Copies of this chain bind each other. A is one copy, B any other.
């Protein structure tokens, strides 16, 4: 039997793990600093918790877990005979793997509403599962790295989340464009143009602009039965390219000031701008306003975020936004939240392509002590254990075998130093230390091995 992995899943070996942990650690450090605390929810949720939260298509992509034991015993005979997969499902499956981290978060907040202190801020870094068709960059198991605040309408949180994006990518040395929009702006325009009923169709067409171009967008809008005048207004709006939030507010004023939702949009953009201006957030010029940005159309109600890496062949690497009624799905209305999510897999690919992983990620051993037989290896083992007490990461080759094989092991594992202590070295109380990177070999007294190696170890004490 030749073992294999399920489609769309991956093993992460030591090198990938160290790189992934580097990304997660940077994100976590920023989440912590801004007062977001860790939460983990179970991989399984009741199927009823997840069903209906992601649309019909989403429901199809949820991985269902088969009930244990004689799972067919109580299933309706007729439905079985008819092979009615949908009807049988509810009888043979009660649990499913989580599809995202947002619904479990809402479930957690509702279950713990009386113990939690609001505004409640949590971060969550865990895998999610989707029965999507696997393809390049799309997996059936992948990590999400979310931070969400729930229980306040304050735009301060939006400002902070933008600053958190900035800080994470500064720490990762990755140049990005942080796009910001407010969902209310386009709603206001649609009201202004009396196109509210066609909202979803229009936005869906606008969203294709980058792919199909202006002409095709105009044609599709025309096919919707929209007048030329209104199409011209929509095109003018899409082409707005404000340099900052102040300019953005001025550019939408002519329609936004005419209806309630537009006035609210201006108010929210103004507040956000006050916080960001106060801390010179625009200094590095990596925040931009994009009125055509729509993510999770039926979901976000206010501010929307998206982050793209500059000069990279990659879609958005982060997203997020404000949702005014997150826990309404579980009958706890009125709690407004805002959150962000880092796409760890995509960030990984971009950092790798740009060679931005730091060299200190190599956590292989610093030195391999050769094994020259029983007496010698016990002698080396003693020294190794003393070095470990001082936090050196060193190891002994386990068996007495040919030097060549021990050298090969050190080289294959990228261990920079080998330490040779044979019979004559024990007699002299010295060790031969060879630097495999340049071939240089020095003789060091046993007492000074730690001193010698400490120049090359950050952790040693």
Contact = CB atoms under 8 A, between A and B. Distances in A.
Contacts of A38: 12, 14, 17-18, 21
Given A44-B141, A60-B69, A388-B33, A94 B6 contact: yes
A331 B382 contact: no
Contacts of A63: 44, 65-66, 68
Given A5-B46, A378-B278, A13 B35 contact: no
A393 B110 CA distance: 27
Contacts of A5: 42, 45-46, 111
Contact of A1 (B35, B330, B374): B330
A46 B388 CA distance: 40
A212 to B, nearest CB: 31
Interface string A99-121: 00000000110111000010100
Contacts of A70: 83, 85
A109 to B, nearest CB: 10
Interface in A347-398: 363-365, 374, 377-379, 381-382, 385, 388, 391-393, 395-396, 398
Contact of A68 (B110, B131, B412): B131
A337 to B, nearest CB: 12
Given A2-B331, A5-B45, A75-B83, 16 more contacts: A6-B42, A6-B44, A11-B40, A11-B111, A12-B40, A12-B41, A14-B39, A34-B393, A43-B129, A60-B69, A66-B66, A73-B85, A80-B80, A154-B399, A156-B377, A279-B382
14 contacts: A1-B331, A2-B330, A3-B330, A5-B45, A11-B39, A12-B41, A13-B112, A64-B66, A71-B85, A72-B88, A73-B83, A156-B381, A159-B381, A274-B378
A441 interface: no
A65 B68 contact: no
Contact of A398 (B4, B49, B157): B157
Oligomeric state, in copies: 2
Contacts of A110: 3
Contacts of A33: 388, 391-393
Centre residue among A45, A66, A122 by max chain B CB count within 10 A: A66
Given A5-B46, A156-B396, A14 B37 contact: yes
Interface in A154-194: 154, 156-157, 159, 163
Nearest to A121: B395
A95 interface: yes
Interface residues of A, number: 104
Contacts of A49: 3-4
A93 interface: yes
A81 B76 CA distance: 10
A257 interface: no
A276 to B, nearest CB: 10
A32 interface: yes
